[in-house]
Amino acid sequence: MMFTISDSLAREMDRFQIFLDEELKPHVSRWYREESRVPAEFFRAMGEGGWFGFALEDGRLVKHSGLRESLITEAVARISPGVAVTTLVVSDLGLMALYLFGSDHLHQTYGPAAVRGETLLCLGNTENHAGSDVANIAMRAERAQGGWILNGAKAYVTNGAISDLAAVTAVTDPEASRNRRLSMFLVNLDQDGIDRKKLNKQVWIPSDLTRITFTDVFVPDDHLMGERGRGLSQVLSVFTHSRVPISGLALGTARGAFDLALAHGRKRTVFGERLIDFQAKAFEAADFHARMEAARLMLFQACEAMDQDRDFRMEAAMAKYLSVDIAKAVCAWAADLFGAASVIYEHPIHKFPLDAWAAALGEGTQDVQKLVIFRKLMNRYE
């Protein structure tokens, strides 16, 4: 296997780094401190630069490569995992659902403003009693003249406070089997019956995490995405796609913390020596670097399988599992290297361990990744 980043992609990533140095780095601590939200101008700037995971061709969304999207997400997360998750949710949950399951009409209606970063999207599946057990949701969609009426609540929706549209799962066929009960809808969030409550969280700042309640919300027939009754497999497919770039997010989180730690370790002296010159610390750094690179190879393998349209479920789950695992370890180590400063809210290192923890939850917990890996593994033995 060969994993190479083409010259043209490498040049694009250099341009993206310049974009981040101008549009993100100087502002992020203020967004973190004061606003606790990513401003609309940043999404527009992302759209203007063509940095979302999709472009338009003949009125339909077309997907950039998973490798490009993972590198982009990693680069943002290296600076701010909280900003990275907002762009990931727009691209890899909301737009991905529209790309995979939206009709031509929906692509044409919403695609252009979405790739420009003017229309923001999110995805709501999780409910209070249904997270890992994706199929167990209770939100109802009942037939009405010309469409559907939605009632229920989505408990944890990233970007729920700032989005215009949400891809939402709901039960359309309660008597059907587990695999045929759900359907997926594209819902306009600016309408009567939608109530959004921003939750007070400590991770992935400045993104929002929002509870959205739906009371008699009307969704027209043509906003049912994909096939009625296939919502479970559709939302799982969106999560599988998103697992690839969120692995990039986890690796970027690890790298961001590692960079800060090495810079600090080269400056800070203890017992008359630079912290990083103690062999115990140097060996830990070497070990973490090697393990981050190993997780990156797994991520590249997942990107390759996805970009070649092969079944990439196992690779995506392994990439997420390994990159979250190393992110949690590296971020805790990096914070520890800062001593007491690491617990101060305003210190840049402070957010990384919490953000690594958050990466373990989005797109399936570590246990869920192991379930996917084991299931695929067992197929090989049958």
Ligand X SMILES: Cc1cc2nc3c(=O)[nH]c(=O)nc-3n(C[C@H](O)[C@H](O)[C@H](O)COP(=O)(O)OP(=O)(O)OC[C@H]3O[C@@H](n4cnc5c(N)ncnc54)[C@H](O)[C@@H]3O)c2cc1C
Q: How distant is the alpha carbon of residue 104 from its chain centre? A: 25
Q: Give the integer Cα–Cα distance in Å for 41 and 188.
A: 21
Q: For ligand X, which residue of 65, 103, 237, 365 counts as binding (CB under 6 A)?
A: 365
* Nearest Cα residue to 141 out of 255, 225, 203: 225
250 touches ligand X by CB under 6 A: no
CB 305 within 8 A of CB 317: no
Q: For ligand X, which residue of 65, 332, 361, 376 counts as binding (CB under 6 A)?
A: 361
Q: For ligand X, which residue of 150, 209, 219, 285 counts as binding (CB under 6 A)?
A: 209
159/342 with CB nearer ligand X: 159
Query: Minimum distance from CB of 36 to ligand X (Å)?
Result: 14
Q: How many residues bind ligand X (CB under 6 A)?
A: 22
Q: For ligand X, which residue of 47, 362, 369, 372 counts as binding (CB under 6 A)?
A: 362
204 touches ligand X by CB under 6 A: yes
233/365 with CB nearer ligand X: 365
Query: Minimum distance from CB of 290 to ligand X (Å)?
Result: 27
Residue with tokens 């959205």: 212
Which window, 18-26, 51-59, 105-113, 203-211, contacts ligand X (CB under 6 A)?
Answer: 203-211
**Residues found in the chain:** 382
Q: Give the integer Cα–Cα distance in Å for 153 and 297.
A: 39
67/187 with CB nearer ligand X: 187
Q: For ligand X, which residue of 106, 186, 358, 373 counts as binding (CB under 6 A)?
A: 358
326/372 with CB nearer ligand X: 372
Residue with tokens 């944890």: 156
Query: Minimum distance from CB of 134 to ligand X (Å)?
Result: 8
Long-range contacts of residues 17-24, Cβ cutoff 8 Å, at least 24 apart: 17/75, 19/45, 19/49, 19/51, 20/75, 20/76, 20/79, 24/76, 24/79, 24/80, 24/83
126/301 with CB nearer ligand X: 126
Q: For ligand X, which residue of 176, 202, 367, 379 counts as binding (CB under 6 A)?
A: 367
Question: Restricting to residues 81-140, which ones interact with ligand X according to CB under 6 A?
Answer: 89, 122-126, 131-132
Which window, 243-251, 308-316, 335-343, 367-375, contacts ligand X (CB under 6 A)?
Answer: 367-375
277 touches ligand X by CB under 6 A: no
Residue with tokens 């306009």: 188
Give first-to-last CA distance, the chain, whole Å.
26
Other CB atoms within 10 A of residue 7 CB: 8
* Nearest Cα residue to 117 out of 178, 26, 53, 207: 53
CB 134 within 8 A of CB 235: yes
CB 44 within 8 A of CB 116: yes
CA distance to 98, 217, 226, 236, 376, per residue, from 143 (Å): 22, 12, 17, 24, 37
183 touches ligand X by CB under 6 A: no
Q: Give the integer Cα–Cα distance in Å for 115 and 246.
A: 19
Show the binding pattern over residues 137-176: x = contacts ligand X (CB under 6 A), - = does not: -------------------xxx------------------
67 touches ligand X by CB under 6 A: no
CB 238 within 8 A of CB 96: yes
CB 196 within 8 A of CB 161: yes
Q: For ligand X, which residue of 203, 257, 285, 335 counts as binding (CB under 6 A)?
A: 203
The residues binding ligand X (CB under 6 A) are 89, 122-126, 131-132, 156-158, 203-204, 209, 358, 361-362, 364-365, 367-368, 371
